[in-house]
Amino acid sequence: MLDKLNWTAAAVFVFFFALVTVVGFVASRWKAGDLDQLHEWGLGGRRFGPWITWFLLGGDLYTAYTVIAVPGLMYAVGAYGFFAVPYTILIYPLIFLIMPRLWNATHKHGYLTGADFIAGRYGNRWLELAVAFTGILATMPYIALQLVGMEKVIQALGFSATGWVSHVPLGIAFLILALYTYKSGLRAPAMIAFVKDIMIYVFVIAAVIIIPYQLGGFGSIFEKAKLVYDAKAAAAVAAGKPAAVGLTLAPQQIWPFITLSIGSAMALFMYPHALTGTLSATGPDAIRRNAVTLPAYSLVLGLIALLGVMAVAAGVETTDAQAAIPLLVNKMFPDWFAGFCFAAIAIGALVPAAVMSIGAANTFTRNVWKPFVEPDMSAQKESYLAKLMSLIVKLGALAVIFWLPTKFAIDLQLLGGVWMIQIFPALVAGLYTRWFNGWALLIGWAAGMLAGSWMAWGPTSVVSTYAIFGTSFYIGLIAVVLNFVVSVVLTMVLGSSAQDETKAADYEDAVATR
């Protein structure tokens, strides 16, 4: 079990992991507030200014799975994996336009989740439940995949075991994460995000300087990678399959690439954890400043994606694309720096996993349990239930890793984007108009969910595109168009929603920000 362990790398890894554990527990005293209040535990009291929000959102959205999966996809298929870069660029204009209005309305009425806003805007608790259910459903496999990323780097350290013993290090990491999240709430990942982001930047900058130097420069890297991709494409054609591998996009990949980028951008900030990070800001100005500055992460993501091409050029060979980057790190760096890189990736799993579990817990407490089971629950009980649910959510994600094939978790995460984009019509349209009917939006949501899931689930795994008149498009975008059409038609039949707690002035900047 430990005979192949890289002790130097493991020692560096444990040191940094211990460091962020201490930070996680100390965070409960940072920006002191009553953690028996849900808005304090789950949103940090809405006291995170531009700098903290910048690190929190960056740590929240650029995860361990991003560092593993995006370059892993580039390693496996080439240029198509680069879709993650344009979609993270498209996100920020949406944030700039949409999220300040949402923050204003939620602050005015004390809403803590996106589903809270839906309930207040449309007065329809079943639409509120649908939004909450979608968020929790899509978040569980997302957390599981953070744990997958962490497990990959633990394996790369040389820890080898079979059966339940192979999951022991991950179980220990989970326990630590669960404890400091329970104690410190959103303050823990917000504080750890400072350490995580600095480490990720050091890792990526070192990688894009040192690895190209060792491989003879970027020109040599692309030449070597092209030969490998071309060989894979030729083998696919010989087997009667599409040549969906290459250093550049094939003609049939262009529309899937474009629509996947657009649809992914529309879906990402519908997730509970993304809304949690946004609503924790001090005000709309902090959100706008971050929408302007966060594209720096997209630059880093582009460099991270290129690691997949470097792995191809470096001769890394594996049938598991998710293992490509850990193998590349072990091959190209000394042991001590490999340990640092693996710690950065593992810590990159802790921050989003914590925020995701908090976002799902807030949503369950506010939009499932309170309206349908215990409407008169106290503020203290809200906070206690959310803390408890954050543990249960993590246990559920851990169960996915322990008892289900990893591929199943990946399939569910791919479906997560298709599901989350179905919230877009209700949430975003609600920020600009009260014309839509809540029941119409609920039926539109159901139509989008069913159609998206049906198109996505292939005979062996989830697929991301569906062909219409001979051209393939991203399934989530097709499904949300259907969702919009159904919602518009039924609203014309049923009329606009009569119940609305909000007023037009609630969406405009009305509080001093800092």
Task: Quote the pLDDT of residue 83.
Answer: 86
Token pair, residue 162, equals 């079979």
Phi–psi pair at 266, nearest 5 degrees:
-65, -30
Express each pLDDT in 362-416 by its tens digit: 999 999 999 999 888 888 898 889 989 988 888 887 777 777 666 665 666 778 8
Task: Quote the pLDDT of residue 441.
Answer: 96
Query: What residues are paired with 281 via a beta bridge?
Result: 48
How many CB atoms are closer than 10 A to CB 41?
29
Average pLDDT, the chain: 86
Phi–psi pair at 395, nearest 5 degrees:
-60, -40
Task: Quote the pLDDT of residue 513.
Answer: 44
Is 80 exceeded by the pLDDT of residue 458? no
Task: Quote the pLDDT of residue 377.
Answer: 87
Task: Quote the pLDDT of residue 5.
Answer: 79
Express each pLDDT in 112-137 by its tens digit: 999 999 999 999 999 999 999 999 98
Token pair, residue 299, equals 């630059």
Is 80 exceeded by the pLDDT of residue 153? yes
Task: Quote the pLDDT of residue 512.
Answer: 44
- What CA–CA distance (Å, rounded) separates 187 from 193? 10
Where residue 460 falls among pLDDT bands split at 50, 70, 90?
low
Phi–psi pair at 378, nearest 5 degrees:
-75, 165
Is 90 exceeded by the pLDDT of residue 447? yes
* Residues ≥6 apart with Cβ < 8 Å to 354: 177, 180, 181, 186, 188, 189, 192
Is 70 exceeded by the pLDDT of residue 272? yes
Is 50 exceeded by the pLDDT of residue 292? yes
Sign of CA dihedral 113, 118, 120, 121: positive
Least confident of 124-138, 220-234, 288-302, 429-443: 288-302
Contact at 8 Å (CB) between 199 and 339?
Answer: no
pTM: 0.89
- What CA–CA distance (Å, rounded) separates 386 from 400? 21
Is 50 exceeded by the pLDDT of residue 69? yes
Express each pLDDT in 362-374 by its tens digit: 999 999 999 999 8
- What CA–CA distance (Å, rounded) separates 260 from 400? 26
Rounded to 10 degrees, the C-alpha dihedral 363/139/412/297 comes to 140
H/E run at residue 473: strand 471-474
Mean pLDDT of the 180-195 span: 83
- What CA–CA distance (Å, rounded) separates 41 from 384? 10
Report in angstroms the alpha-carbon separations of 458 from 51, 102, 410, 461, 464. 43, 36, 14, 5, 10
Phi–psi pair at 168, nearest 5 degrees:
-60, -50
Q: Name the DSSP class of 511.
A: S
Least confident of 5-14, 142-151, 442-451: 142-151
Task: Quote the pLDDT of residue 514.
Answer: 41
